[in-house]
Amino acid sequence: MDETVAEYIRRTVLKMPRDEIKTMLQKWGFLSEAQLQTLNFHQIKDNISQEVVQLCEENSADIKQAAVLDIIYNHIYQNKRMWSVYQMKKSAEELEYFDITDFKKKFKGRLRSALKNVTITFREYEDNAIWIRVAWGTPYKKPNQYKPSYVVYHSQTPYVFISASVLKSNLPLLCQALIVASNYHDIREMELRSHSLNSLKDIVFKRYSQNFQTDYSKPLQGENVEPENADLRIVQENRSEKERIHRLNREVFGDGPQPKLEFAQYRLETMFKSDPKMDVLDKKEPFRCLVKFSSPHLLESLKSLAPAGMADAPLSPLLTCIPQKARNYFKIREKKGFNPESFVSP
């Protein structure tokens, strides 16, 4: 077995938490159940990984199998990576039957014709997701297995989720291969990024609970604003205001859990408006400013702002439009009578 393959497998096993090594090796299926039984999972990971490499040696593992193990790890720990969303466009509305073998062949063919040194691995999952791992090399160097790109494609949709490696120069080639293989004619990057792959899917596939404009003019019967203290000696003076905030919040955010995003970024290219007498940049040139909201769970924290009394309800549409517009990067330009619809993607 190749030295580099052995080292790669060893490092991949070291990444895994000790309690999960056995399950992941089983999912991998490259080592037999009998071989797995011989492994001692109660020793330090260093030793476990050495033993795994030895077993792989017996089975003559090559880079292809090692790559599959890497996909398995990254599928389970997908939230460690940053994912971007891309949308593909068809030129005409033909309903073509998706053939996975054809897709793989075309994808591999396109990449290999441009770059000989690539490792391409596919793995399909039950939710119709096709995971693709690509390790990139150059015409003179073997692929760097430690910086691969991952692509998740749901064949029934025009969306592709890409976790690019640091080597951004390969991105155009990757995009090209995707549209050729899937019979689309164009691909564009959406302004939507997050660590939570499932939340990105929820947003673009519209799987989160959306707000519906219902007639809430009559207060709902028996609606509890919050689990208030049942102490009757405390009188809430602003109960109707609290109910209004709660209702507005429900209308905007819906009832279910929000998709998990870590930040929203607004790039301002608007004019600085100040008292003309102060002579500070007043309307002379755009005031470049970047506003970034970060949170472990941005949308949930926005949802709790008004009920917590930290912001007025309703919240600015700039914040609440994030799931509907499927973007968390915005560019705000000067427009007469500022209109949130005037966003332009770069």
Partner 1 sequence: HLATSLPLPSERDHLRPRIDLIVFMIDIKSKYSLKNVEASLAYVDASFFLGKVCFLVTGVGRVNYCSIETNAICKLGEAYGSPVLFCELELEGIRVTTAQRLLRMLQICAGHIPGVSALSFVLLMRNFDDD
Site residues for partner 1 per CB under 8 A: 234-238, 240-242, 309-311
Strands across the sheet with 286-294, in order? 286-294, 263-271, 329-333
Residue 264 Cβ, how far from partner 1 at the closest point, in Å?
20
For residues 99 and 241, which CB has a smaller minimum distance to partner 1 in the complex? 241
C-alpha 277/C-alpha 220 separation (Å) is 53
Q: Which single residue is written with the structure tokens 């040194």?
A: 117
Q: Cα–Cα distances in Å, from 51 out to 40, 43, 57, 145, 255? A: 9, 11, 10, 21, 50
For residues 213 and 229, which CB has a smaller minimum distance to partner 1 in the complex? 229
Residue 154 Cβ, how far from partner 1 at the closest point, in Å?
42
C-alpha 135/C-alpha 164 separation (Å) is 10
For residues 1 and 319, which CB has a smaller minimum distance to partner 1 in the complex? 319
Q: Which single residue is written with the structure tokens 């037999």?
A: 32
For residues 84 and 304, which CB has a smaller minimum distance to partner 1 in the complex? 304
Residue 139 Cβ, how far from partner 1 at the closest point, in Å?
53
Residue 226 Cβ, how far from partner 1 at the closest point, in Å?
12
Residue 235 Cβ, how far from partner 1 at the closest point, in Å?
4
For residues 102 and 243, which CB has a smaller minimum distance to partner 1 in the complex? 243
Peptide bond into 227 cis (omega under 30): no
C-alpha 97/C-alpha 70 separation (Å) is 30
